[in-house]
Structure formats: structure tokens, C-alpha cells
Chain A
Amino acid sequence: MKFIYSKIFFIFAGVLLVVVIALTLQVKGWLQPIEYVLLQAPQPVIKVVNWVVRPIVTTTKTLTSLKNLAIENNNLRQEVDELRQGQVELDQLKAQNEILKDELGFVSRTPNSLVPCTVLSVDAQGLTDVLNLSCGSESGIEAGQAVVAQGYVIAKIVHVGNLTSSAVLLTNAQQSIDAKVSRNNTEGVVKGSFGSGLIFDLVTQSADVQTGDLIITAGIDPKIPRDLLIGELGQQLTGQNDLFKRLTVVSPIKPYTVDHVFVVKP
């Protein structure tokens, strides 16, 4: 009997047809209820397993990094002292700024509104770098908006359904976001880099950028408000002869362990 008349061929062709229909429905967004059920169904078990697994992983990591803790502690103390000093200066500047604004009659900028969302699933392999979130267009989410975790931008929304939305991590090699150095407004672009986190790129060679400078959003993209924290500059990756400077950006957030995020509505 020829293969095309066999039972197995009919099954294969049937499944292929079903998948093509499902893909069409998915692209049009009509598969949302099924996607929502499949994403929500394992949540109770995931919560229980995480409740057991996470303390074990944290304890193991702490034990293996025990010898570095004292050094890290000293560095953090020093950083706290410096930040306290900086805070005093900022408070003074803020007070002066308020007085000047009042005198000039400036209207205060409205704060960004944040939509809280639960992370339903993450791509464990790190290829698509997708976070599936529990909020969609019904919560006012739109494609292109920034996703923030613990005060740091970690992803951008790429697809919005009624009940869920998908965001791609900034560490994805195809992602980029306009950014600037908070100290002196030097502009550049933060790009994802496969396997190496974030890179602050397209910075002119003459620009004054230093390790430890804070990187914030520049606000050029109308869907992403300015002054959202992205991370801190790390080591320089380029030499003197390169056209642009490239530096690593360090974010303390581990996106694969984040449970709750906020989507920033401009």
C-alpha cells in the first residue's frame, strides 16, 4: 500500500490541517481563550513547586558565593554612604526646582500609570525571550509599551490580546530601546546581545561615560516614557579606533525569576 493511502498519512494530514487553522486563529487573536486556559492551568502547581524550589536554589547560590559576601558587603556599605550624600544634594536641588517651577508657573508632569501584571510563563530556553503576561487590551495595554520589574525596564510588549499579552526581554538580540546616561544625558541605544545581556551602543567616542553611570530611557519612543531606569554601565567593549563606544549594561533583575511586573502607560 502506498504511503499516501495509509492511516498514518491521514492522521498526519489531519493534524497538519488543525495546526494550520490554529495558527491562523492565533495570528488573528481568536485563540486567546484557549491560550489563557493553557497558561493559567498549571499556575497552582507552578506556585507550589516554586515555593519549594526557589529557597533551595537561593540557599545553594548563597553557599557557593559565601566567600565573596564580605567583599560585596563592604562595597555595598561604601555605595550606601555615597548614595546618602547624593540624596542630600538631590533633596536640596529638588526643593530649589520646586520653588523655581512655582515662580515660572510650570505644570507638573503627570506620573506614569502602571498596570500590574502576573508573569504566566517564560521561555526557558532563551530563544524567543518571551514573557506571557496576565493582562491584555482590556487593561489598556498596547504593543510597544515598557515592562518594568522592581523599578527597572526589562521588556517591551510585542503582542496584545484581550486577556493576555506577550513581552520580549530587552536582552533579546533583536530588541533595542533608546536610552541616555542619567548623569549627563549622553544618548545611545541599549541593545540585547545573545548570551551577554545588554549593551549600550552607538555612543560617540568623545562622550563622557563611565562605569557605574545609570542608564535611563531617553523618551524618543512615544510609547515609552523618559527617565525609566534600565541599568548601570559596566565595562567598555570597544577600543579607541572604533567609530562608536560600546559598553555593557548591568541590570540587577533576573527576568526569569520575576513573578509580577508593571506595564508603563505613558
Chain B
Amino acid sequence: MKWILYSIIILGLVVFNQTILTVSNSGAWVPNILMLLTLALVVLVEDLDFLFFAVLGGVWLDITTGLPIGGTTLGLLSLAMLAMWLTNKWLLAQKGPRYFLGAILLGTIFLKTWIWLYAALAQLVGFPIEVWSFVDNLKTLLPQLLMNLLFAYPIFALVDYLVGRMLKNNRHQKFIL
């Protein structure tokens, strides 16, 4: 049940990217919802559920945006691993949502730099991509950072709600059995 729900969320994310975000023609003012979802899962779920989002969602977005496979996928995976390590080391999850905002701030910078570097490397090995300049990358950083911070709370609340519902359902099923 959980994996079906996750798959539907990822499909919804791809559809959101290809409809509302493209029709609104917002340019750089686009939130990275997949990153927000992955980080929220790292903070809220102790299991490795974020891997599913990072890999399936990452590969899907890489293909639809014309990036080499691994651009979003490996960036998200590394970011999530790092976030998980920090969360376990300093128990950041218990210290309040401002650490989640901090993770988003650092995550956005990390992911944008990673995707740019990865695309440049992929071009060197023959992947057909027109790599944008680092200056252009920086130009899009601030708008995306602001959008990510704006969407952070709604995404965090949504994941929190869904995780709560799933736990409740699991307890209910165990009780019936």
C-alpha cells in the first residue's frame, strides 16, 4: 500500500512539473518538490523510504528534463544520505523545523551545483546536452531557494500527515489481525 501511494505521489510530481509549472512559465521560480519530499521523509520516517523517492523520482525527472540519468538521482541520494547522517549524529529531528529549513538551504545549493557539475561531466563523455554556464546556475539559485523555503512547510505538513495516517492504518490492521 505504502509503495503504491509513493508511486502515485511521484507520478503526481511529474504531472505537476509538466503542467502547472510549465504553463505558468515561471522560469527559475520553480520549487524542487522532489528534494523537499525526500528531505521531509529523511526527517520524519526512520526507514529508508526516501531511497524510493530519490531513485524513482530522480530517474523520472532526469528523463523528462533531458538531464543525464544520475543528475537528480545521485544528487538527491547523496543529499539524503548526508541529511540522514546529520540527523542521526545530532538528533536534528528533535530540534525543531528550523533545522529542516537549514537543510533545504544547504540542499538547494548542493543540488544545483551537483546537477551543473554532473551535466558538464556527462557532456564530456558524450551525452547530448547543452550545459548552461555557472553564472546562469547562480542566477537561478536564489529564486529556487526562495520557492523551496516557501513550499517547505506545506510539503513537510503533507508528509507528516501521510506518515501519521499510514502508522494509524498499520496499527488498526494489526489490531484486527
Chain A residues near B (Cβ < 8 Å): 8, 11-12, 15-16, 19-20, 22-23, 26-27, 31, 35, 38-39, 41-42, 45-46, 49-50, 53-54, 57, 120-130, 132, 143, 158-159, 166, 168, 172-175, 194-195, 254, 256-257
By a CB distance below 8 angstroms, the chain A residues around B144 are 125
| A254–B60 CB distance below 8 A | no
List the B residue with the shortest CB-CB distance to A60. Answer: B24
By a CB distance below 8 angstroms, the chain A residues around B137 are 127
> Does B84 count as interface, using CB distance less than 8 angstroms?
yes
Prevailing SS type, chain B contact patch: helix
Known: A53-B23, A166-B66, A166-B128. A121 touches B18 (CB 8 A): yes
List the A residue with the shortest CB-CB distance to B66. Answer: A130
Known: A124-B30, A130-B66. A174 touches B19 (CB 8 A): no
Q: How far is the CA of A31 from the CA of B77 in the complex (A)?
A: 21
Q: How far is the CA of A175 from the CA of B15 in the complex (A)?
A: 28
| A31–B69 CB distance below 8 A | yes
Chain B residues near A (Cβ < 8 Å): 11, 14-15, 17-28, 30, 48, 51, 55, 59-60, 63-70, 73-74, 77, 81, 84, 115, 119, 122, 125-133, 136-137, 139-140, 144
| A158–B18 CB distance below 8 A | no
| A39–B128 CB distance below 8 A | no
| A124–B11 CB distance below 8 A | no
Q: Of the candidates A35, A125, A127, A173, which one forms a contact with B63 in the assembled complex, judged by CB atoms under 8 Å apart?
A: A35
| A123–B65 CB distance below 8 A | yes
List the A residue with the shortest CB-CB distance to B126. Answer: A27
By a CB distance below 8 angstroms, the chain A residues around B15 are 42, 45-46, 49
By a CB distance below 8 angstroms, the chain A residues around B30 are 124-125
By a CB distance below 8 angstroms, the chain B residues around A26 are 68-69, 127
Shortest CB distance A15–B (Å) = 6
